[in-house]
Amino acid sequence: MDTLYQALIAPFTEFEFMRRALAGVLALALGGAPIGVFLMLRRMSLAGDAMAHAILPGAAVGFLLSGLNLFAMTFGGLIAGFAVAILSGVVSRATELKEDASLAAFYLVSLALGVTIVSMKGSNIDLLHVLFGNILAMDDQTLLVIAFNATLTLLVLAVIFRPLVIECVDPVFLRSVSRSGGPAHLIFLALVVINLVNGFHALGTLLAVGLMILPAGIARFWSRDITGMILIAVASAMVSGYAGLVLSFQSKVPSGPAIILMAALIYLFSVLFGSAGGILRRLFPGRHLEA
């Protein structure tokens, strides 16, 4: 029992940086996991990944001007994310290029540009911090920003929840009965960018989308109901964050990749054993009709 306490609880009772990291990952789970569910339902998971890379040039410009300054990098990331989302939409509507191809082009350019800008001023350590994050080094200001953005996300989602759900199920019906679909979509994209910037501070630009998409995929194998999926996604993101921090503390695995690896393990378990479409469920379905 004492060994379990030392392994699973003691790191958080004895070290303030671990408590701060745990609070940060819980806030990321609360804000990001519901967004991930809607990204998955709207078939925008890869678009979310592209937008995660798109915030890098803005954050890199903030780094170039102010170093590892929280507000400069946050502001730069938000501007870059919104700019890429808008520009990719304009290009896809003004040309024959599909939106996913347009996003892919912008994301590749953004990634290359961001890495170049960081490399111009910073060291390899700075570049690794920007690309992969360091949640164990999170300060109070960063934690407050993440918590504020998570709270804002939940409040705004509560307001636009109904049109988002209807658009996922029947967008044609929504357009026929209401004009709220367009504004709700734009607000949703803004929430995606905000939560990607949140994830960027903790997990870096390469892993920011991981705590949004993997929990959503996990939830899809356990529930068909949107509310159920959101609850499962949030819970699995929290468990992944906690387990990843413990793994990182007890080993030499970096904290960001450790969190995503824990989420990946839960995802693989869900693929195999999930009650709503898991492989074993499909191979050995229960009897639907009883005599």
Residue 257 neighbours by CB under 8 Å, 6+ apart: 132, 207
In this prediction, residue 93 carries a pLDDT of 65
Residue 150: band (very low, low, confident or very high) from pLDDT cuts 50, 70, 90: very high
**Does 234 map to a domain?**
yes
Between 96 and 4, the more confident residue is 4
Output the domain CATH number for residue 199. Answer: 1.10.3470.10
Residue keyed to tokens 């869900």: 270
**Does 291 map to a domain?**
no
In this prediction, residue 213 carries a pLDDT of 92
Domain count, the chain: 1
**Does 283 map to a domain?**
no
In this prediction, residue 149 carries a pLDDT of 92
Reported as a single tens digit per residue, the pLDDT across 188-240 is: 888 998 898 888 888 887 788 888 999 999 999 999 899 999 999 999 999 99
**Does 138 map to a domain?**
yes
222 vs 26, 199, 262, CA distance in Å? 21, 25, 18
Q: Which domain covers residue 209, as residue numbers? A: 2-276
Residue keyed to tokens 């490399």: 119
139 vs 16, 24, 52, 246, CA distance in Å? 10, 10, 22, 19
**Does 76 map to a domain?**
yes
Of all residues in the chain, what percent are helix, strand and coil, respectively (each to 5)?
80, 0, 20
Residue 291: band (very low, low, confident or very high) from pLDDT cuts 50, 70, 90: very low
Residues of 140-149 as b/e, b for ≥16 C-beta within 10 angstroms?
Answer: eebbebbbeb
Residue 230 neighbours by CB under 8 Å, 6+ apart: 33, 34, 37, 219
